[in-house]
Amino acid sequence: MDKTDQKIIRELQRDGRLTNQELAERVNLSPSPCLRRLRNLEQQGIIRGYSAIVDQKRYGLPVTVFVRIKLQHHTEQAVGEFETAIKYIDEILEAHLMTGDWDYLLRVIVASLEDYERFTRQSIHRIPGVAGIETSFAYGEVKRTNLFPAI
C-alpha cells in the first residue's frame, strides 16, 4: 500500500458516499486508475466494508458503558467460550483482549441504567467462567473519529 492508497482510504473514511469521480479528484487520479486501486484495496481486505455513522442518542441508545471482564481460567476452551458468547450480544459494539489486571474491555451501548442491569444479568452473568466485572459509565464524549492518522 502506497501513499495514494492511504489517501483513498482517508477520503473514504471522511465520506464513504463519495462517487468514484469525486474520490479520484480528491486524490489526484483519473477515475479509471482510482477505481482499480479501490477495488484492489477491497479485494485485499484492507477496506472491509462501508457503513453509516449513526448518532446513538438519537437512535435511542444514549448510555455508553465500558466493561472490564476477568475470566476465572485462561484455558483455550474458557477463552473460546467467552469470545464466542460475546460475539452474539448486540449491545457489545467492541471487545478488546487486554494486558494487565483485566482480560477484556467491552464497549457497550444501552438505553438506560435499567437496561444495563438487564444486559449484565441476562447476558454477561450467563457466560461461564466470568470471574469479575467492573463497569465505568461514560458521561460525555470528548472525541470520536473513524479517520486513521496519516502515516
Over residues 84-143, the pLDDT tens digits come to: 999 999 999 999 999 999 999 999 999 999 999 999 999 999 999 999 999 999 999 999
Which of the four pLDDT bands, split at 50, 70 and 90, describes residue 32?
very high
Contact criterion met (CB below 8 Å) for 123 and 69 = no
Beta-bridged to residue 138, according to DSSP, are 64
Q: What is the pLDDT of residue 150?
A: 86
Query: Exposed, middle or buried: residue 38 (CB in 10 Å: 0-12, 13-18, 19+)?
Result: buried
Q: What is the pLDDT of residue 60?
A: 98
pLDDT at 23 over 90: yes
Over residues 43-55, the pLDDT tens digits come to: 999 999 999 999 9
Contact criterion met (CB below 8 Å) for 27 and 15 = no
- Domains in the chain (CATH in brackets) are 3-43 (1.10.10.10), 56-138 (3.30.70.920)
Look at the pTM and tell me if it is higher than 0.85.
yes
Q: CA-based diameter of the chain, in Å?
A: 56
Alpha helix stretches (DSSP H) within the chain: 3-14, 20-26, 31-43, 56-59, 76-87, 113-119
Among 76, 88, 68, which residue's Cα sits nearest to residue 130? 68
